[in-house]
Structure 1
Amino acid sequence: MKAGPARWLAESGWFPERDIGEQADELIRWRLRDAERQGCPLTVFPKAGDLIRCYGLLRIPHPKSGERALVMDPRAGYEGDAADIAELAANLGQRLFPVGYETPDLSLLLVDEEERFFYLHHTGAYYCGSGAHEMFTGFINNVDTPDAEDFFVR
């Protein structure tokens, strides 16, 4: 039977009413400033802000692989990532905002306005599920992530 995320998240410090408040606002402001510095502004939207408030700053290790973890910090990235995020957003027809990343290879975890999750990895972009529960469940159960291209607006 596949594992669900509730206990796993709780072991990492999460609880249903968790809200990091002002810390979330600072994380978002940092990411917005960095995208502006890169010359490719991002826009935060309510779903992204809510996710950062709820899960922000958690490091959530994979239950079966000590080297893999989800780190819920939108400040991670690389030079030029804002342009890559904007390009993926245009292809999806939805705004995207980074909410974290996966270690060890710094795959950026992005969410769109419909709360669909995508990885932006050096090998391409991948779909990770709809809603936080599905995304977290897919991560802990090593569910294959289809290409984001399958979700592009044609």
Structure 2
Amino acid sequence: MAPTVPSPQVSDWLAQHGWFPGRDIGDEEVDDFISVRVRDATEQGFPMEPVDAAVRVIRTYGGLKLAHPRASDSAFEMDPTGGYDGDAREIAEMSTGLGEKLFPVGFESSEFGILLVGETARWFLLHHTGGYFLGQDEQDAFTRFITNGDTPDVEDYFV
């Protein structure tokens, strides 16, 4: 599923942080990001595989630090290798509840919540306080992030 077209506000914010239309970090860097995360999950005993929507996000935004416009300590760090011991189990549990595979695409820098993208391109956050829905696609997630929009509990989306 292709993302929705970014609003001018989101486009400007992304451009301020190094993104531009057609940005592509290339196969080698994408493969490096993914292989680190896949290996880590396997070592934790909860193997995961990348989903197409997450690969597209990594390819498009990988390596960027997308700082919140009004909260300097908060950013979407677009590095899927960030995580913590035991996160693969929690991602697997969230995935089961949602009925779709999830794959990390980055983390939120102030509290190190893991940004996840599902098979349907929806965005979620695995935080130490629980799971949260971030948006229907990256543009929705980015809009909610920069406008401090609603982030409902992930359980509201369980099947």
Which TM-score band applies after superposition, normalised by the shorter structure? over 0.9
Identify the residue that residue 151 of structure 2 maps to in structure 1. 145
Counterpart CA distance in 1 for 2:77 and 2:136 is: 19
Could you tell me how far 1:3 is from its partner in structure 2? 7.4
Could you tell me how far 1:16 is from its partner in structure 2? 1.1
- Extract structure 1 runs of 4+ deviating beyond 2 A: none
State the aligned residue count.
152
Could you tell me how far 1:25 is from its partner in structure 2? 1.1
The alignment's TM-score, normalised by the length of structure 2, stands at 0.93
Identity score, percent: 49
Could you tell me how far 1:4 is from its partner in structure 2? 2.5
1:15 aligned onto 2:20: yes
1:34 aligned onto 2:35: no
Could you tell me how far 1:103 is from its partner in structure 2? 1.4
Equivalent position to 2:9, from 1, 4, 23:
4
Equivalent position SS for 1:14: coil
Counterpart CA distance in 1 for 2:131 and 2:149 is: 15
- After superposition, residues 2-81 of structure 1 pair within 5 angstroms as 4-21=9-26, 22-81=28-87
Q: RMSD over aligned Cα, in angstroms?
A: 1.1
Equivalent position to 1:127, from 115, 120, 133:
133
The alignment's TM-score, normalised by the length of structure 1, stands at 0.96
Counterpart CA distance in 1 for 2:96 and 2:122 is: 15
Identify the residue that residue 88 of structure 1 maps to in structure 2. 94
Counterpart CA distance in 1 for 2:114 and 2:51 is: 17
Give CA-to-partner distance per residue, 1:52-106, whole Å, 9 cap, x none. Answer: 0000010011001111111000000000000000000000000000001111110
Question: Runs of 5+ in structure 1 lacking a partner?
Answer: none
Could you tell me how far 1:116 is from its partner in structure 2? 0.5
Counterpart CA distance in 1 for 2:54 and 2:12 is: 23
Identify the residue that residue 98 of structure 1 maps to in structure 2. 104
Equivalent position SS for 1:128: strand
Identify the residue that residue 115 of structure 2 maps to in structure 1. 109
Counterpart CA distance in 1 for 2:30 and 2:10 is: 22
Equivalent residue letter for 1:18 = R
Question: Runs of 5+ in structure 2 lacking a partner?
Answer: 1-6
